[in-house]
Chains A and B, each alone.
Chain A
Amino acid sequence: MLVFSVLALVMLIGALGVVLLPDPVHAALSLVGTLLTLAIAYVILNAPFLAAIQVIVYAGAIMVLFLFVIMLLNLGGETPSPTQPWIRPTAWAVAGLTIAAVAVTLTQNPGPALDAAAIAAVFQGSGVEQVADQLFGPFLLSFHLVGVLLLTGIIAAVGLVQQRATETAKVRAAAGQAGRTQPEPPPMPNLTEEAS
């Protein structure tokens, strides 16, 4: 229970960082911390295979993609929304109420106690084999649909990039003829000048 308390504390601090830190890079790194503690939680919950996948796919691939885009777009800090000032306190109040409701409900009506012997009997080894049995058995339709979804994602990403390339060429041609019509992104630091 001590391990759980420390883990929950770190996880919630990371989650608060995602919501509160103004700098996107700091928020993304804070989410990495939360994802890594989630991997530890999966190990405690007898899912070591998922813990490995969590570190490799989530904390590795997905978060690198996020940080890459944040740095590519050179996003700065954000200011609180001036148009809807009531959203912030309302969102926090609703979130607090939700957490309190779940906590009260679960502590008032606890489920059946965990059977340590059954857990030890079911979760043996890394769990890869058992997950694969499920994935290619009852989850076969989901597996195929996820495959279709990933293919669609790839095609959509390529389509977006291609469209952007042709339209950027058009914008560049127009800018060359009639001056700058399009607002330019923030200027990139000139690497060659800095080097010299």
Chain B
Amino acid sequence: MNAPVPTEAWIILSAALFALGAVGVLTRRSAIMVFLSVELMLNAANLALVAFAQQWATAGVAVAMSGQTAVFVVLAIAAAEVAVGLGILVAIFRYRVSTDVDVLSEVRL
């Protein structure tokens, strides 16, 4: 069997995905594209969790598997967030006929 890929490589990849997602959140104008970028950031965090779970295999089954279980919880939260977020987005679109986040500034103080 091949030697496992070092955890550092996975974490660098995860950081790159997270940074790209953050760029998307900051530069995209359509709210739905901001949501897509947030999904990218969530997945980058998941990748880091799974990589760390493998790194901690020497600490035993319980510690190693708690990393994977955390990913499970994040997945469920992402699903709930998408359902509510897209519902709000459709509701906004009914009134504004736009999902441009530069235009949506009603809740600004």
Contact = CB atoms under 8 A, between A and B. Distances in A.
Contact of B90 (A4, A12, A72): A72
Given A27-B36, A46-B54, A119-B54, A131 B75 contact: no
Contact of A73 (B54, B60, B73, B90): B90
B23 A19 contact: yes
Interface in A62-77: 62, 65-66, 69-70, 72-73, 75
A47 B68 contact: yes
A102 B16 CA distance: 9
A195 interface: no
B80 to A, nearest CB: 4
A185 interface: yes
Interface in B58-109: 58, 60-62, 64-66, 68-73, 75-84, 86-91, 93-94, 97, 99-100, 102
A98 B15 contact: yes
Contact of B79 (A44, A57, A186): A57
A186 to B, nearest CB: 8
Main secondary structure of the interface of B (DSSP, over half): helix
A95 interface: yes
A154 B50 CA distance: 29
Given A15-B17, A42-B50, A139-B66, A150 B80 contact: yes
Question: Contact residue range for chain A?
Answer: 35 or more
A43 to B, nearest CB: 10
Contacts of B4: 114, 116, 119
A18 B24 contact: yes
Interface string B33-56: 101110110010011001101110
Contact of B69 (A12, A35, A134): A134
B80 A149 contact: yes
A24 B51 CA distance: 30
Given A38-B46, A95-B22, A78 B33 contact: yes
Contacts of B20: 12, 15-16, 18-19, 95
Nearest to A19: B24
A111 B52 CA distance: 11
A44 B2 CA distance: 11
A91 B70 CA distance: 29
Contacts of B75: 53-54, 57-58
13 contacts: A4-B5, A11-B17, A19-B24, A70-B32, A75-B99, A94-B19, A106-B12, A123-B54, A133-B62, A134-B62, A134-B66, A183-B97, A185-B97
- A-B residue pairs, 4 tightest by C-beta: A95-B19, A153-B80, A134-B69, A102-B15
